[in-house]
Structure 1
Amino acid sequence: MSIVITGASGHLGRRTAELLLTTNGVDAADVVLLTRSPDKLTDLAARGAQVRHGDFADPRTLPAAFAGATRVLLISIDAGAERVDHHRAAIEAAKAAGVGLIAYTSYPNPDPRRNSASVVPDHAATEAAILGSGVPHTFLRNNVYSEYVALFSARNPLTAGAFVHNFGDGASAYVSREDCAAAAAAVLAGGGEHAGKTYDVAGPEPLTGTELAGLYASAGGTEVEAVSVDDGTWIADAVANGLPEPAARNVASFGRAIREGALSQRGGDVEQLTGRRPVSVGDVLKGMVD
């Protein structure tokens, strides 16, 4: 068995690799870590994992990078004009290597007709490319990271005393990066039972803006008011507080998706894959504030 993790020097890739070697008991010699920066993974190389250079933007590097792969975790790369093309290059290289499973870190409801988050078209296109390749697949539809919740407030909740959001009454089941890594590791270390499956990797419960304000208040020991605004007001407020306008419009699209109910899936699949309940947003926030 040869398990390949792309983007392995990032938070999710690194943690997935660590869990494979510890919790999941995979032999380090069977773990292959693809990265554009091999020097960032010397510690895992010292533990016996293979570290290979691979750059989706340079397809010439990919045949050697994926050689011998039996399972691949394709971690979605950062958004950009060539994102889907780069994903396709990796999919084609994995297929040429004879891989038996591609697990892809996707997004909930990846259908632009149902989900207005800006990342959705790219995830939809990538899922379609994997399906079109004919390679057995697992889609890990990771919800918004709990660690990123603060981004959804136009102001810093603790210093401003307000969680300013554009969710309306909508809710999202935020999930910790640790749970995303644990779910991915479980799929990679498992057998053929995961082929053809789609998992909603989500937190234990959907939370509204009001509930998030309460969690921030509890974590920070201060009063935090929930303030619901429309998209335009949220963008203007975020820009006034230092967020570049393109980024503000991007984040606002996620808030709109929450408002429309596209990110409210519960985390039953995390428990199914890992054998434990997902980490709560409150615990993540407490860890970040402490």
Structure 2
Amino acid sequence: MTKILVTGAAGQLGRAVLQHLLQTYAIAPADLVAASRNPVSLADLSAQGIEIRSADFDDENGLVEAFSGVDRLLIISTNELATPGKRLIQHKAAVFAAKKAGVRHVVYTSMPNPDKSLVTFAPDHLGTEEAIKASGLSYTILRNAWYHDNYLMGMPHNLQAGKWYTATGTGRIATISRDDCARAAAAVLADPPIGNRTFTLTGDESLTAEDIAARASAATAKPLDVVHVDGDQLAQGLAGAGLPDFVVKMLVSADANVQAGNFDIVTKDFETLTDVQPQTLADFFDARKANLAG
């Protein structure tokens, strides 16, 4: 029996990975472990027969206990973004704990080209990848592109206003749905590739802001004009909307990364791992018309 543990199981990605393991890849619930800082929130998974464990990334000794007896481990990057450097410390603790616990194979959710990315949290991913490689653990690194789902945060407001202020310039970005990333992670956990591998998960098209706006408009029948601004102007607008400083910096850096061409990556890695095509942004928007309409 192979024991598979998913960290961050209370989050959207973690839950989706577990459901794909159960439904898409027919892994028995008894072979799965769902781990979270708040295991009480996983009662519904326990009811499905999945083992529940507490996993606090600020407690390395506790992580060793949580990872005990686990063959394959998915480390989902934490959401600790407000304090620079803290997330990398957490991730390194998880890697060290996996080594101490005797985990046979680690899967980690990273981001495209963390070595040259302008996104504020890229050093966290690069440092984690380096820690995994230095540990001697068998690994698969999944570099997840920007999610389609991220547009659901700001796009409804943009569509209401009829304008989308962006600092991406003429840059292009190939996004992918969170659920597709979850499916790929489940595929790797169910049957890890031979050797240490790194995959970049993207959609099958790289789009400009105008392309993305056109797809949002088509899904909602609402006009949306793209207004190009520079990074300072975007930061002022986001700060004026009341967003926390670290979020403002993250969003501005993401636009800068698009403009620099660092998100302009299209691969077939998702199809290689899952044998299916990724959901297009147009289809994603069409399935979420009500969310986009706000």
TM-score w.r.t. length of structure 2? 0.93
Percentage identity across paired residues of the two chains: 36
Q: Distance in 2 between matches of 1:178 and 1:45?
A: 21
Deviation at 1:168, TM superposition (A): 0.6
Amino acid of the structure 2 residue aligned with 1:148 = N
Letter matched to residue 181 of structure 1: A
CA contact under 8 A between 1:150 and 1:157: conserved in structure 2?
no
Q: What is the distance in 2 between the residues matched to 1:239 and 1:217? A: 26
- Aligned partner of 1:82 in structure 2 is 86
The corresponding residue for 2:241 is 241
8 Å contact from structure 2 (residues 119, 253) kept in 1: yes
The whole-number CA distance in structure 2 between the counterparts of 1:9 and 1:231 is: 34
Q: Deviations over 1:91-146 (max 9, x none)?
A: 111111211111100000011xx211111111110000000100011110001111
CA-CA distance at 1:218 after TM superposition: 0.9
Aligned position for 2:19: 18
Contact 2:140 2:192 in 1 (8 A): no
**SS of aligned partner of 2:288:** helix
Secondary structure of the structure 1 residue equivalent to 2:200: strand
Contact 1:152–1:251, Cα closer than 8 Å, also in 2 = no
| Deviation sequence 1:34-54 (CA, Å, 0-9, x none) | 111112211221121111011
Is 2:109 the partner of 1:105?
A: yes
Equivalent position of 2:70 in the other structure:
69
1:233 is matched by which residue type in structure 2?
Answer: Q
Residue 136 of structure 1: aligned partner: 138
- Please list every run of at least 4 consecutive aligned residues from structure 1 whose deviation after the TM superposition is greater than 6 angstroms: none
Q: What are structure 2's unaligned runs of at least 5 residues?
A: none
1:238-289: CA deviation from partner (whole Å, max 9, x where unpaired): 2233333432222010000011111111141111111111011122222332
One-letter identity of the residue aligned with 1:280: T
Tell me how far 1:192 sits from its aligned partner. 4.3
* Structure 2 equivalent of residue 124 of structure 1: 126
SS across alignment from 1:258: helix
Contact 1:34 1:51 in 2 (8 A): yes
Which residue identity is paired with 1:202? T
Name the residue aligned to 2:183: 182
- Pairs within 5 Å for 1:79-228: 79=81, 80=83, 81-111=85-115, 114-150=116-152, 156-193=157-194, 195-228=195-228
CA distance in 2, matches of 1:152, 1:264: 21
- Please give the per-residue CA displacement for 1:164-212, whole angstroms capped at 9, x wherever unaligned: 111111011111011010000000001442x311111111211110111
Q: Distance in 1 between matches of 2:242 and 2:150?
A: 17
Q: Deviations over 1:53-77 (max 9, x none)?
A: 1101122311220011111100000
**Over residues 4-44 of structure 1, what are the superposed CA-to-partner deviations in whole Å (9 max), with x where a residue is unaligned?**
11111100011101110111011111111111111221122
Which residue number in structure 1 is paired with residue 33 of structure 2?
Answer: 32
**Superposition RMSD in Å:** 1.5
Q: Distance in 2 between matches of 1:150 and 1:231?
A: 21
Equivalent residue of 2:70, what SS? coil
Partner Cα distance (1:15, 1:150) in 2:
18
Instruction: Give the match for residue 258 of structure 1.
Output: 258
Going from structure 1 to structure 2, the CA distance change for 1:182 and 1:222 (only over 3 Å counts) comes to: same
Structure 2 vs 1, CA of residues 87 and 11 (structure 1 numbering), >3 Å: closer, same or farther?
A: same
* Cα separation, 1, equivalents of 2:31 and 2:245: 44
Would you say the 8 A contact 2:174–2:207 is kept in 1?
yes
Q: Distance in 1 between matches of 2:137 and 2:43?
A: 31
| Counterpart AA for 1:266 | V
Q: C-alpha separation between the residues in 2 aligned to 1:249 and 1:94?
A: 32
2:233 and 2:76 map into 1 onto residues whose CA distance is 33
Aligned residues, how many?
Answer: 286
Cα distance between partner residues in 2 of 1:39 and 1:283: 35
Task: Give the distance between the partners of 1:50 and 1:266, measured in 2 at CA.
Answer: 37
